[in-house]
């Protein structure tokens, strides 16, 4: 029976809906229930140690997390204005100015992905929220963040996340584990700028400071390359499981195979003395070296693709790099949004490429659902992963729910169209949410802490 192709109105719980909404089917409910039960491996987040969680406001009740904090820490302000919270003001004062902020963005995924945090965690429908409900919601958020118990419960139990790979861009070389579920990674973004020590604004970003602290100052390109190798060794020793680059926000993803001689011409000279081509040459050379170190130390390489500097973030720009580094395991982040088809064909052709759908459902739910279905048609299901990519308990919970729902819809539609058996769909859901990460990052096994159950 072609239920999804019949645009007839049916009644569910007294509400009229279209029968092509897969979420009303028993198939979807069974798949979703199975996927919800999977203790997830979240491959990318930016959750700081509790005391350092950002976006706290100075309120008339003291410093703390607020309703404004939750929205400010989400991706929503990236597409629509959010009224700021003035130091020392009350919630009522802020809300009177801010409650109209959401009217023009109701259909956006950046708005809609946050809603499950309010409905599921606080019992509030933000779509119809009253002033009194908003005031109480703000009070409860403020109380919840007086210690870290709420955060840990939401992430580990309510969101059902067992392990979370955390990108500590605020402390790149510390490799700390602030929570039982946190796993460090090595953010290598700033390393490409090592032609001169002056390029680093903070010691936490600087390989030069790292080398000085270990009594091995950098005086040559050889010294710099040796320092990078030493950083990788320490990352492995601290159980970091992969690398992360966000260079797509700063420059093109076109990394040419630059001879060492051209990189040496740039080394030791401040940026003001370099041409744009000389600077790119050095960056390209170092990025290629990072790919070699990735393979040497068995640290897969997460690369931000798409939705950055749009003119230079197409994952197709990485194809030559991928082809010339077959021993490096590349993970293309965000599904290459909006180039999800291009990302799929890269993974189809190159077996050293994985796709991470991190952030994609928040960017565009519809495109994410389509991406899951397209990718499963052109590549094995053991090379797709997910991540929440956010900064607080509510955001992590909401992004996780949004992803589980999106993936469940994509799989259920395939089952209903007789393109996939239901038991196979459930297995694929488990791969995306958990097992593919455990397979790609085998050292995660020793950090698992939830009880084994249901064949996990």
Kindly state the average pLDDT of the residues 312-321.
98
Query: What pLDDT does residue 451 have?
Result: 72
pLDDT at residue 9 is higher than 50: no
Kindly state the average pLDDT of the residues 338-344.
98
* Of residues 266, 232, 255, the one with CA closest to residue 313: 255
pLDDT at residue 296 is higher than 80: yes
Query: What pLDDT does residue 233 have?
Result: 98
pLDDT bin (cut points 50, 70, 90) of residue 41 is: very high
Query: What pLDDT does residue 452 have?
Result: 55
Backbone φ/ψ region at 349: left (φ over 0), alpha (ψ -120 to 50), beta: alpha
Interaxial angle between packed helices 115-122 and 131-144, expressed in degrees from 0 to 180 and rounded to the nearest 10: 80
Report residue 86 CA to chain centroid gap.
30
Eight-class DSSP state of 415: H
Residues in a beta bridge with 10: 17
- Three-class SS of residue 416? helix
Query: What pLDDT does residue 6 have?
Result: 36
Percent of the chain with pLDDT over 70: 95
Kindly state the average pLDDT of the residues 128-156.
98
Backbone angles phi, psi at 113, to 5 degrees: -65, -25
pLDDT at residue 19 is higher than 60: no
Query: What pLDDT does residue 454 have?
Result: 44
Cis, bond preceding 338 (omega within 30 deg of 0)? yes
pLDDT bin (cut points 50, 70, 90) of residue 16 is: very low
Query: What pLDDT does residue 20 have?
Result: 81
In angstroms and rounded to an integer, the radius of gyration of the C-alpha atoms of the chain is 23
Q: Reduce the secondary structure of 158-187 to three states and give it as a string.
A: HCCEEEEEECCCCCCCCCCCCCCCEEECEE
* Of residues 306, 310, 318, 293, the one with CA closest to residue 358: 306
Q: Which residues contact 40 (CB under 8 A, 6 or more apart)?
A: 159, 160, 161, 162, 386, 400, 433, 434
Kindly state the average pLDDT of the residues 146-150.
98
Round to whole Å and give the CA distance between 24 and 11.
10
Round to whole Å and give the CA distance between 357 and 262.
36
Kindly state the average pLDDT of the residues 83-90.
98
Q: With beta carbons less than 8 A apart as the criterion, state whether 35 and 412 touch.
A: no
Question: For the domain with range 160-447, which CATH number is right: 3.40.50.720, 3.90.1300.10, 3.20.20.140, 3.40.50.1220?
Answer: 3.20.20.140
User: Of 11-20, 81-90, 389-398, which range is least confident?
Assistant: 11-20
Q: What is the pLDDT of residues 378-434, one digit of tens each?
A: 999 999 999 999 999 999 999 999 999 999 999 999 999 999 999 999 999 999 999
Query: What pLDDT does residue 5 have?
Result: 38
What token pair was written down for 83? 């009224």
pLDDT at residue 8 is higher than 60: no
What token pair was written down for 204? 């936490």
Burial 25-55 (b: 16+ CB within 10 A, else e): bebbebbbebbbebbbbbbbbbbbbeeebeb
Query: What pLDDT does residue 130 have?
Result: 98
- Sign (positive/negative) of CA torsion 296, 297, 300, 302? negative
| DSSP calls for 272-284 | GGS-HHHHHHHHH
Domains of the chain by residue range: 61-144, 160-447
């Amino acid at each position: 029976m072609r239920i999804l192709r019949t645009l007839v109105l049916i009644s569910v719980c007294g509400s009229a809906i279209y029968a092509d909404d897969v979420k009303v089917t028993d198939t979807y409910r069974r798949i979703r229930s199975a996927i919800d039960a999977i203790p997830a491996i979240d491959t990318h987040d930016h959750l700081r140690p509790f005391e350092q969680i950002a976006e706290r406001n100075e309120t008339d009740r003291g410093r703390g997390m607020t309703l404004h904090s939750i929205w400010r820490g989400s991706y929503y302000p990236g597409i629509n204005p959010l009224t700021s919270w003035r130091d020392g003001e009350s919630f009522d004062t802020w809300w009177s100015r801010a409650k109209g902020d959401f009217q023009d963005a109701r259909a956006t995924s950046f708005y809609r992905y946050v809603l499950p945090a309010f409905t599921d965690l606080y019992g509030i429908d933000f779509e119809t929220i009253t002033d009194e409900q908003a005031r109480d919601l703000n009070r409860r958020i403020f109380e919840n963040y007086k210690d870290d118990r709420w955060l840990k419960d939401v992430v580990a139990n309510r969101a059902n996340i067992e392990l979370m790979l955390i990108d500590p861009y605020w402390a790149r070389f510390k490799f700390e584990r602030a929570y039982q579920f946190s796993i460090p990674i090595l953010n290598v973004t700033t390393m490409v700028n090592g032609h001169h020590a002056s390029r680093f604004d903070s010691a936490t970003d600087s390989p030069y400071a790292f080398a000085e602290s270990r009594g091995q100052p950098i005086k040559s390109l050889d010294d710099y390359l040796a320092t990078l190798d030493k950083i990788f060794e320490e990352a492995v020793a601290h159980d970091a499981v992969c690398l992360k680059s966000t260079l797509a926000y700063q420059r093109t993803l076109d990394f040419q195979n630059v001879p060492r001689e051209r990189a040496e011409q740039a080394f030791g000279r401040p940026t003001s003395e370099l041409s744009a081509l000389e600077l790119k040459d050095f960056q390209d050379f170092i990025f290629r070296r990072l790919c070699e170190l990735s393979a040497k130390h068995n640290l897969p390489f997460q690369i931000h693709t798409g939705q950055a500097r749009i003119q230079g973030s197409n994952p197709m720009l990485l194809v030559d790099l991928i082809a010339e580094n077959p021993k490096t395991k590349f993970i293309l982040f965000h599904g290459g949004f909006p180039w999800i088809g291009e990302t799929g064909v890269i993974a189809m052709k190159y077996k050293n490429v994985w796709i991470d759908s991190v952030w994609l459902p928040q960017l565009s739910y519809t495109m994410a659902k389509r991406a899951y279905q397209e990718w499963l048609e052109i590549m094995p299901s053991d090379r797709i992963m997910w991540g929440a990519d956010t900064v607080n308990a509510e955001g992590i919970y909401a992004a996780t729910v949004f992803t589980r729902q999106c993936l469940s819809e994509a799989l259920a539609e395939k089952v209903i169209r007789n393109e996939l058996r239901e038991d196979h769909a459930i297995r694929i859901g488990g791969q995306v949410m958990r097992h593919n990460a455990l397979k790609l990052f085998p050292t995660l096994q020793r950090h698992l802490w939830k009880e084994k159950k249901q064949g996990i």
